[in-house]
Chain A
Amino acid sequence: MKCREVVELMTDYLEGALTAPDRERFEQHIVGCDGCRAYLQQLRLTLRAMRSVEGVPIPDRVQTELVRAFRNWRSASR
């Protein structure tokens, strides 16, 4: 496996979608390759950064309206 091919398998690897033999070849390559190991780590940190994208707070006006709708539903369904 060449580095050029290994980088294209990284999502399949992270998703657990490689066949057992491919996974083994992939992991063997990663162990011996600083470049691909660094790239995989970069991808992992990219995922971490995306999960940390801060939430947009719900506007008060919208929350008030939704809570009112929820209360209406609750009293109607009683």
Chain B
Amino acid sequence: MPGVVESSGSELESLKRGDEATFVSLIQRYHGPMLRLAMAYIRDHHIAEDVVQEAWLTAIRSLDRFEGRSSLKTWIFGIVINLARARRRKESRLLTFTALLRREDPDRREPTVDPSRFTAAGDWRAVPHQWENIPEETLLGREAMQRVQAAIEKLPPKHREVIVLRDVAELDAGPVSELLGISAENQRVRLHRARAAVRKALEDYLG
């Protein structure tokens, strides 16, 4: 069943043998996360779709040379990142100087929770609500999902790429640091800020 099978060594072997069912299962399973990853760099949905397709074509061409030193999934997501970044560079020549100046430091450490929610002593003024009793249909319902996606899209790109790789595509911390060329610590700082922003968006909806 698509969606539950993790990519494994044997999956790579079947792929290299030319097994079409394995290939189809992979492109179906990874399409969503790959598209979201491409959209972390590129706003335009159609261009992002192109990048995902190009990534697969690149993967097919390089398959014979891929030795499986990283997982198949990490390798393919890495190809998406490279292509999407190249595509963005091409387009960002159009960015204005002010847009460049507005870029913030992704590793800035600032409170991720509104300071007014704490007393001067640093305790909660009002305790956050329990979400445990919220029905699944609400927590994972259409409206909640839209809020989650909108919150991810609003993040600065360097936070967005981390949260998409870690929490949407579900890659491990090690491969993500390697793919993005950042330290484990920087990854955690970005992930923390990104997760806090998505949590806040859900809180605005769920209370």
Contact = CB atoms under 8 A, between A and B. Distances in A.
Interface residues of A, number: 47
A69 B122 CA distance: 59
B123 to A, nearest CB: 5
A15 B191 CA distance: 10
Contacts of A25: none
Nearest to B170: A51
Contact residues of B: prevailing secondary structure: helix
Nearest to A8: B112
Contact of A34 (B111, B127, B139): B127
Main secondary structure of the interface of A (DSSP, over half): helix
A30 to B, nearest CB: 13
A62 B54 CA distance: 10
Contact of B140 (A47, A49, A55, A70): A49
A46 B49 contact: no
Interface in A58-78: 58-59, 62-63, 65-67, 69-71, 73-74, 77-78
Interface residues of B, number: 61
Contacts of A51: 167-168, 170
A70 B60 contact: yes
Contacts, number: 148
**Residue from A11, A36, A59 with most neighbouring chain B CB atoms (10 Å):** A11
Given A47-B167, A53-B148, A58-B31, A67 B20 contact: yes
B203 interface: yes
Contact of B20 (A15, A45, A55, A70): A70
Interface of B: 3, 18, 20, 23-24, 27-29, 31-33, 35-36, 49, 52-53, 56-57, 60-61, 63-64, 109, 111-113, 115, 118, 121-124, 127-132, 139-140, 144-145, 148-149, 152, 163, 167-168, 170, 173, 184-185, 188, 191-192, 195-196, 198-199, 202-203
Nearest 4 CB-CB pairs, A to B?
A55-B32, A2-B122, A35-B124, A11-B192
